[in-house]
Structure 1
Amino acid sequence: MIGPAAGPLRILHLEDSDLDAELIEAELENLGHPVVIERVITRDEFAAAAVEGRHDIILADYVLPTFDGVSALGIARKQCPDTPFIFCSGTLGEEVAVEAIKNGATDYVTKQRLDRMSRTIVRALAERRARHDKRAAEAALQTLNDTLEARILERTRELAVSNAALEDQIVERERAEDALRLSQRLEAVGQLTSGVAHDFNNLLTVIAGNIEFLERAVTDERSKRRLAMMRGAAARGANLTAQLLAFSRRQRLVPTPVSLNRTVVSMRDLLQSSIGGSIQIETTLQDGLWPALIDATQIELVILNLAINARDAMAVGGRLAIETANVTITGRPTRPEQPQPGDYVMISVSDTGTGMPPEVLSRVFEPFFTTKETGKGSGLGLAQVFGFIKQSGGGIRIDTVLGEGTSFKVYLPRVEETEMEMCAEVTPAENATAHCPASQAVILVVDDDAGVREVTVTRLSEAGYELREATSGLQALAALEADPHIDLVVLDFAMPGMNGAEVAAEIRKRWPTMPVLFVTGFADTAALADAGANGPDAIVLKPFRKGELEQKVATALGGRTTPGLRLVSDRTKIV
């Protein structure tokens, strides 16, 4: 339920732009719930309207001709402090937004990303309901406490039993609230990091692509070495954004049945070389271990990250113990990273190092949090572990004792018999990849970032395709209407206005047989699947890996003949 049970969602909207107000009102239709908007512009109008209980939520621009969002926030906190307050502005920088939230704002949405408006409102209303529920529970608890004295006089023995039960409830409530706060903090950081990763991937696509083009033209060795260093830095940047997306649980995984025993055995030499000869590795591998349904490449990174973390905790050598086991969890989790009840394949990595104090344990999975010296750790290793495990449907438990060591127990989903049968039924033909681009195929490249679009078009032009360009979803639809010879649409997923999912839906409606290849630096697997990106061949991640774009374009075009070596230089841009 979004709004009040008896009526629509009531919104107070502080906005001076008629156009922006219309755009926001249109976006609010995505809530799927009736909305009543009271729009104001001046300070006096806002002060008169901002009354407790009159509205369910406040949306406010940050800069107005005779008024500003900061003053509006102050009025709202004073007159209706329980009403969620969300900034919606095109000029709100990240630092200003963070400061606004510190001063009492619930959240913010930029006008360039109005697609975030619906879920931001839903989250704000949910948080308000949670606060109301908590206050009601606290009031009920206070009422109960007020009657304790009378009950002590009447039934001393019974009160002792009841009081003990009440204390247990308080402890459990506090533990649940701590878990909720940690989960909310990690979710907020995850949303921020995934947005940063998307922007970085766009930048890295332009940088890496142009480095590749320059390497073909440069002949002197000194310039080649410098370009190689730049290419290496771009690759490290891509790895960093991949770690951020892993923490945000927005990386694209390919889960398959994996034997963790074989994985551990195959990694032993790598682990020994990574942690050094002063640390002894011991393995205890259970016979009859269930296969785990996970991404094989990512679980190797998880084990390596945990081993390196253990190495750093053992400054003068020690023992690294790796164990596998079949485990059934029955108890409910008390922390967000812990597994839900069920059957799991467990792998633990334990050390004899320094252990962790409670203040470190409470933040151990936060991105960029590290206790290591500057330059010796990015603080992303355990964040990446957390993201992968939660996205895979598992959990992790940490047991640590100061001065004695730490054990990370990773719980991964087991492969059920039905899933094993499905995996066995997959034929090689289902995974076949086309290797030949189509002869004289015409490709429409849609991307709002001019630099990324230039790299994409250049690569495909050099592969022998004829290119069309569009800078938005509306331009792409216009291009398809105007040119019946387009064979494939290469579509950016995250764009202002119509995003890639909306454009793809419209294309499927008007041109059902038109293939669409998504290009994205923001690997939100659920959103991509909803948009029709079925399978890894339907998606190219930014920054491009060498040859991947060209290969997946050829696959999308199907079994057409290979074009000649002719390079298409005439590019048409739809404006």
Structure 2
Amino acid sequence: MKASTAELTKAGLNLIGQALSIYDADLRLAVSNRMFRDMFALPEWMVRPGAPFADGIRYLVERGEYGPVADVDAAVAERVAQARAFEPHYLERTRPDGTVVSVEGSPLPGGGWVTVYTDITAIKAQERLLRARSEVLSGELLARAEELAGANRKLAAATARAEEARREATEMAARIRMTTEMLPAHIARVGPDRRYTYSNRRLGAVMPGTPADIVGLPMDEVLAPIWPAVAPNIEAALAGEERVFEVTHDPSGRRVRVSFTPERGEGAGVYALSMDVTEEAQARAAVAQAAGRQVAAQLTSGMAHDIGNLLTVILGLSERMGGMDLPAGAREAADAIKLAATRGGALLDRISGLSGPRDLTPRAVDLRALLAEVAALAGPSLPSGVRLRTRVHGLDEPVLLDPDALRDALLNLVLNARDAVGAEGRIAVVARPVRDTWVELDVTDTGSGFSEAALERGAEPFFTEKGEDGTGLGLSMVYDVVKLAGGRMHLANGPQGARVTLRLPLRQPPPGLAPTLVLVIEDARHIREAVRDRLVTAGHAVLEAGGVAEARGMLDIPGIGLVLSDIMLRTAESGLDLAREAEAAGLPVALMTSLPPDAPLWREAAARWPVIRKPFSVEKLAAVLR
């Protein structure tokens, strides 16, 4: 088995007749050879990688390596200060045992230094002998001069080897630093004084806005926004306890996981690893909320089915009216009908969600258009003295959200604000990005604000302060929607009234559904026509069938890009039977229904194919297929 480069390097350094040590920029031992330990009779802990320079100097001073010292602490502090401001040097020093050592030090490009120690006792003895006996020992002088020349040649060769080792060590240190700086995490070391002694300069990538060069700075200054959460954990780590915790960096909205690993021994510090886990936390919150929702009521599947079909017809007819040449008043009425039918479908989803789990259907959303719809729906219910303002800062491109759920949540908040404002006041809905992590929506009003009980319990189901006029489901519904999306809701009182802040994950939508040939199977003609009109408006070509038998004869038509069938058909065979045949023929399949998600047919279909609830938009269909 071949030896590693590190093993070969270590073996080569041990063959050098000189002592060699390399300390990094944090004043910790990086590399040394056997001669370094033997020349100075050092204990094992002083030659381990990571040994602190200050601890080694203190050991040598107390042992008398530098002669009598009156103030050990001052001597150690002086040498540590010299090491931090390291400069190239050469000196010769006589040790307590009489040996003479030459010391040659050079700084490294990335911080730290390399030092080579050479035993020159024999050379110094020869020099003294030459001076004492130069008159009578001319012959011996020549011999000693030859020996000295030979020794010098050996020294030059050893110096060359040491220089090569120093160069390789420098390159190795540079590679290690480059590797750590490429990691998508922040790696650091904190000393017992709670100051950074090492950093891979990636803190700003994990917590935007923090400085890159933090070596020498105290932790409480660098991590001021999250210090209250960090402080007890770093204290526990310095006491020898490993800690892993998560904290939210409020200035950037990032969720950060921090791991503290304590060192062992005198002067031990703590190694810190920080990672951005925002997306993981968002997904975790969404899963937890979905798992925690419980059944609140059971609805009649037939009623939900009929209402869904009626809304599909209303939505289709309103879109057909929108394409006609209508007077301004009639066009506004058609748009209002469309918005109301769309909201009716969303409300139907909410009601059916009480009897089973509900999945959000995110798709590309223009927030300016969405807030305009909220204003249009809420406008007729606002008193004449109440002004509603909507504004979007940034977010010029579409974002990936569930528009039906978000529209309903915002409408709930606006209507709650209306009740708080009374006959006169202002309501504002403002959307903005928080870096590249969140979409933040603020709903504020000039009412009386939240009570202490509402601030504490406002998101609880059935909590209300409106008496018999309130159901207590408005804010809890908003909270449910936000948590299902992996976001957060915060209730507060502003300078003039209440403030509800929603933070939803900021995502870019994938490409939409490309125009294709769609085979639509629906036994109710008016519903089939409404679905056809919506698909054609979006640029798709459509084939229609009223049942399974009719559709079966069309499956071999070239170019079909999607088979879209209702689940319940007034025939012996259902949409599931046709879906199996279409899938066997290699055709993409999606199913539509007005059944609630807890219906057995819905569950059977959703286990195998995309299922969309009627009424739906083409954008929602595209989102389900994605």
TM-score by length of structure 1 reads 0.36
Larger Rg over CA atoms: 2
Q: Which has the higher helix share?
A: 1
Higher relative contact order (Cα pairs below 8 Å, separated by 6+ residues)? 1
TM-score by length of structure 2 reads 0.34
